[in-house]
Amino acid sequence: MKKLVSLVLTVAFAVSACFSLSGCSQQPAATTGSTDKNTETTAGSKETDETKPAASFKVGAIYINSQNDTSGYTFAHHKGITEAMKQVGLDPAKDLYIVDNVPEDDEKVKQAIDQLAGDGCNIIFGISFGYINAMNEKATEYPDIIFSHATGYMSNDKNFNNYFGRIYQARYLAGIAAGYKSLATKNDNIGYVSAWGTEYAETCSGINGFALGARSVNPNAKIYVYEISTWGDQEKERQAAQVLIDTYKCGVIGQHCDSAQPQIVANEKGVFGCGYNSDMTAEAPKAHLCAAIWNWSAYYATAMQAAMTDKDSFMSKVGNYYQGLNAGLVDVSPLSENCEPETADAIKIAKDLMVSGTWDVFSGVKLSFSGKAGAVTAEQKSDALKTNKGEEKVPAGGASVGDDVIQGSMNYYVEGVTQVN
């Protein structure tokens, strides 16, 4: 009997060992601070001066998932960091220190920072929103190290900044492609699978940017938003796209979620779509128009260069970084053959306006495209920015809402948007 008990125990504790270990390695992916997926980059769209590396410059990175991922948010950032390091003359194999699979847990983030600081890192990037408090605290403790935090809102005037991008600009451009498609298919209903709705300014501004882009081409376009309440869940993304197509008769499906499922569903059902994070034409060859994408190396190269040259002027030179099409941080993927012929011209016009800074999405001036391919023109009309409840946010002709609104407090949908769930 005793023998049997001992045998059972040994098995039990071998099993519990496996249990505890699998517990260690399984960090919930849902805690990801944002949903940015594999960024398709055209190599070195923003070239930084090739300078010789400083005596010893080490880059530290704290990731929410693993650097060995083949797609997803961490993958996009890791790709950006390694590309940027090569651009500024650093060797990612030697000069990059990574603590990965760090959950949004202050204690674990602080330990990661201590380790990176101890190893002599000169700049530390944290890519997930929940790292914010730990980074803020540690920035005071290690005044000689630059701390740089993605998607956050905190900073100090010496060594702690935050960075993010005007992805809504890229979404506006994708919206133009969707708008032309809706005109051509004579179906004003456009769907949008979104991680979150008005809860987060990030998703909300993305939806609004996409809607304004679509309506600049097709003023009658209606954007139906289906919120899946998670940054990524392939099954939910699929179902949402199915509902939008079957019930709301949407002919184009936009998205702000992790996987290509909404595009794949559009492909299966014979409608069209605009992806996010990476060019999803390969996943949905008959459906995909173009995708809003990130090119993080644009920021990372700027930040590393500044920190290498003179870390004391980092905050005055780089500061809180919030750039868009102008810096090449965001863009649309190459237009697929599914796009209407006018799309390329219209996107170029809108992009030029935004790059030059003469016009932006959330202002009291709206673009209105007309004309055939080769002769597309954009009319700039003074028109108030109104919510879908009729409330005026920017008067006709007024300047764009502030960046603080776009990044932090935007919690309304513009005209033409309806959330269906």
Residues found near other proteins in the complex (CB under 8 A) = 2-3, 6-7, 9-10, 13-14, 16-21, 23-25, 27-28, 31, 33, 66-68, 82, 92-93, 96-101, 103-108, 110-111, 114-120, 129-130, 132-133, 153, 199-201, 408-409
Distance of closest approach, residue 334 Cβ to other proteins, in angstroms: 30
Distance of closest approach, residue 1 Cβ to other proteins, in angstroms: 11
Distance of closest approach, residue 146 Cβ to other proteins, in angstroms: 16
Q: 């006709």: which residue's tokens? A: 396
Q: Which C-beta is closer to other proteins: that of 13 or that of 377?
A: 13
Q: Which C-beta is closer to other proteins: that of 65 or that of 161?
A: 65
Q: Which C-beta is closer to other proteins: that of 101 or that of 263?
A: 101
CA dihedral angle for residue 186, residue 360, residue 125, residue 113, rounded to 10 degrees: -100
Q: 69 in helix, strand or coil?
A: coil
| Burial of 220 from C-beta contacts in 10 A (0-12 / 13-18 / 19+) | exposed
Q: Which C-beta is closer to other proteins: that of 60 or that of 324?
A: 60
Q: Which C-beta is closer to other proteins: that of 103 or that of 398?
A: 103
Residue 228: C-alpha distances to residues 4, 96, 240 (Å): 50, 36, 7
Distance of closest approach, residue 68 Cβ to other proteins, in angstroms: 5
Distance of closest approach, residue 12 Cβ to other proteins, in angstroms: 8
Largest CA distance in the chain: 90
Q: How far apart are CA 153 and CA 176, in angstroms?
A: 30
Q: Which C-beta is closer to other proteins: that of 4 or that of 375?
A: 4
Distance of closest approach, residue 323 Cβ to other proteins, in angstroms: 21
Q: Which C-beta is closer to other proteins: that of 96 or that of 217?
A: 96
Q: Which C-beta is closer to other proteins: that of 120 or that of 371?
A: 120
Give the residue from 292, 293, 289, 230 showing the smallest Cα distance to 257.
230
Long-range contacts of 278-282 (CB under 8 A, 24+ apart): 278/37, 278/38, 278/39, 278/40, 278/71, 278/333, 279/40, 279/333, 279/334, 280/333, 281/333, 281/336
Q: In this structure, is the dihedral angle defined by the CA atoms of residues 407, 223, 227 and 344, taken in order, positive or negative?
A: negative
Distance of closest approach, residue 113 Cβ to other proteins, in angstroms: 9
- CA angle (217 as vertex; 215, 223 as ends), nearest 5: 30
Q: Which C-beta is closer to other proteins: that of 201 or that of 315?
A: 201
Distance of closest approach, residue 18 Cβ to other proteins, in angstroms: 8
Q: How far apart are CA 275 and CA 328, in angstroms?
A: 18
The answer to whether 355 and 349 have CB atoms below 8 angstroms apart is: no
Report DSSP state, residue 216.
Answer: H
Distance of closest approach, residue 137 Cβ to other proteins, in angstroms: 9
